[in-house]
Structures are given as C-alpha cells and as structure tokens.
Amino acid sequence: MDPQDHQQPELRQVLVLQPPFVFNIHEHLFADRFHVLKAYDSPLPTRDFLQANAQSVKVVLCSGIRDLPALKLVVTDATGVNHIDMAECVRRGIKVTNVGDVYSDDVADAAVGLLIDVMRRITSGERFVRDGCWTTSREYPLGAKLGGKRVGIVGLGNIGSRVATRLEAMGCIVSYTSRRKKQSTPFTFYPNILQLAFDSDALVLCCALTNNTRHMIDNKVMKALGKKGIIVNVARGALVDEVELVKCLLEGELGGVGLDVFENEPNAPRELFELDNVVFLPHAAAFTNESFYDVAQVMIANLEVFFGNKPLLTLVNNKF
C-alpha cells in the first residue's frame, strides 16, 4: 500500500460522539468519504476513546468539544447552535457550521399545519371519531376560520419569512417582531412582543433561543394574546415559560397551542395530554426524507471544503 494512501483516512477523520438522525439514515454517505470515528460504538469509555484520538481529531459532528485539543471544526445537523458552547468555540478558534436554510420550508409547512390543526380542531376531531364519540353525539365544537386572522410572527428570519408568506397567501393579516425592522418586507413591524400579542389572534415562534429570548412568552404575553389566542412554537421550547403556559391553558386563559418543541425534551407537560386545544409534535417539524438527504449533503460539503482548505459553506457567525 502506498504510504500516502495509508495516511489519507487519518487526515480526514470525523468524530461522532452520538449519531444524529441524519447520520443514522445516511451514514454510508459519510463513510464513503471520511474515516468516521464512532465513539458510541467503541468498547472504551468515552473519555478513554477521546484521549486515544485527541491529538488527531480536528472535526466533530454535531457537538462535543471537551478533551479535543486539536479540534478545528464542529459540523452540526441543526440550524440553531444553542446546543454548542459557542463561547468556548470562540475562545479556542473552533469554527462551527450549521445547515443554513435547508430545513426552513419544512419547518414553515409544519408551523402552518400546527396552526390550522389547532384552529380547525383537526387532531381533536380525529380523536372524536377514533374514540367512537361520533356514534353517540353529533355535536362537535366549532373550529375557527384561518383567513382574516391576525398572526404575529416572532422572528422574521429564514423560517419566519416563509411562514409569513404562506399565511398571507391564506388570507391572514401578518405582522412580526424581530431584532430589527426588515426593510424589504411589507409586513407590519412591532418593536416588542407584548404589543404584538395584544394585536394578534395567534403567535408563531420562529426565533433563536438566546439569553434575551428565554421565556419571552411569559404570563403577560399569554394574557395579552387572550382567551382565544393561539401559540405555535417551532423554534425552541425554552422561548415559552412552560409552567405559565400549562396554567393558562388549564384555566382557560389561552385558546390553544401547537408545540413542536418543549422546555425539557423529550418530556412534554402531561397536564396537557387530554386537552383538545393542544397539538404536539416530537420536535420533528424539520424531519422529512428530502430535508435529511439535503442536510447530509450540506454537512458533507462542509467537510470536503474543510479538508480541502477552502472556505466553509455555512459558517456560523461566532459573535456570542
């Protein structure tokens, strides 16, 4: 064997501590191109495995930067990076890539789907039929029309703008709040979440989780939205004060919710399980066959350019 061939896999090592869904499905795409080090498959304890490879590993998939002094790149399969210690990455000069806007259309579709589901009582209607209630009662609670509703988008980025476009096409009156006013959009801007809630029938959460946005949907915002108001969250669970959310729903102070994300995943509030005005997804708004394949391609492309000493394609701004 040519000595250079023997060295090539080592030069293109990629460490995986715990495999994400994308990797599980498309592992062969990575294995065909890189020498994948599977810490989760090793008989060694994780710390021993890392110590054995610490001096050579320059890339890790998704997360995990401790005990890797040679690390230069974290390639995540997500859009958000709140699961990565970005401050430590900045300190050590470690670059981070995400998947850009690959998930945006799928998440926007799911957000609109959750809103329609809650308003038109689709899931509760399905349960009504499946549980045999229709055979004993023809009375089923009326839902609400989507067209004409005032919908506030919290975070008008890649996902939020797609949600807004979809809802406008369905006859909704769309407004938004964001870190700054968007000059290129026709939608009405609100500088604060509370005023947006007062003037909305529903809020769709699409913003990033930061220290400033944690629990931004608090009791005041829920009360401002009102007893018929609906919250859809396809962003991060901790944007919502979940304790207050449960309280408002149980006391009838909020009209309903569609939740793809939760504050303490995978645990959803059990108090809400029997409520017909609550619709859950298991943090799967982005999960489609098409998106997973596209995400794998983005991750592989970033790995290829990294090992080829070329600019990264979806570099995350490390200003944290």
pLDDT tens figures, 161-182 = 999 999 999 999 999 999 999 9
Local structure of 267: helix, strand or coil: strand
Reply yes or no on whether 126 is catalytic: no
What mean pLDDT do residues 104-122 have? 98
Residue 16 belongs to some domain of the structure: yes
Whether 269 and 239 share a structural domain: yes
State how many domains the chain has.
2
Whether 173 and 195 share a structural domain: yes
Of all residues in the chain, what percent carry a pLDDT higher than 90? 90
Q: State pLDDT tens for residues 286-306.
A: 999 999 999 999 999 999 999
Type of residue numbered 282? P
Whether 67 and 91 share a structural domain: yes
Tell me the CATH number at 134.
3.40.50.720
Whether 209 and 296 share a structural domain: no
Q: Which of 12, 236, 244, 263 is catalytic?
A: 236
Local structure of 74: helix, strand or coil: strand
CA dist., res. 244 & res. 225, Å (int): 13
Residue 316 belongs to some domain of the structure: no
Reply yes or no on whether 168 is catalytic: no
Local structure of 273: helix, strand or coil: coil
pLDDT value at residue 9:
45
pLDDT value at residue 3:
39
Residues 6+ away with beta carbon under 8 Å from 26: 292, 293, 296
Whether 242 and 157 share a structural domain: yes
pLDDT value at residue 11:
64
Whether 265 and 298 share a structural domain: no
Whether 260 and 297 share a structural domain: no
CA dist., res. 215 & res. 239, Å (int): 5
Whether 232 and 293 share a structural domain: no
Q: State pLDDT tens for residues 184-219.
A: 999 999 999 999 999 999 999 999 999 999 999 999
**Would you say residue 6 has pLDDT above 90?**
no
Whether 258 and 198 share a structural domain: yes
What mean pLDDT do residues 126-140 have? 91
| Residues spanned by the domain of 141 | 104-280
Whether 267 and 303 share a structural domain: no
Tokens of 269: 């509030």
What mean pLDDT do residues 32-48 have? 95
pLDDT value at residue 10:
52
Give alpha helix (H) positions in 175-278.
193-198, 219-225, 242-250
Q: Which of 10, 88, 126, 265 is catalytic?
A: 265
Reply yes or no on whether 283 is catalytic: yes
Whether 121 and 229 share a structural domain: yes
Residue 116 belongs to some domain of the structure: yes
- Please report which confidence band the pLDDT of residue 319 belongs to, taking 50, 70 and 90 as the band edges: low
Residue 315 belongs to some domain of the structure: no
Q: Which of 215, 253, 283, 304 is catalytic?
A: 283
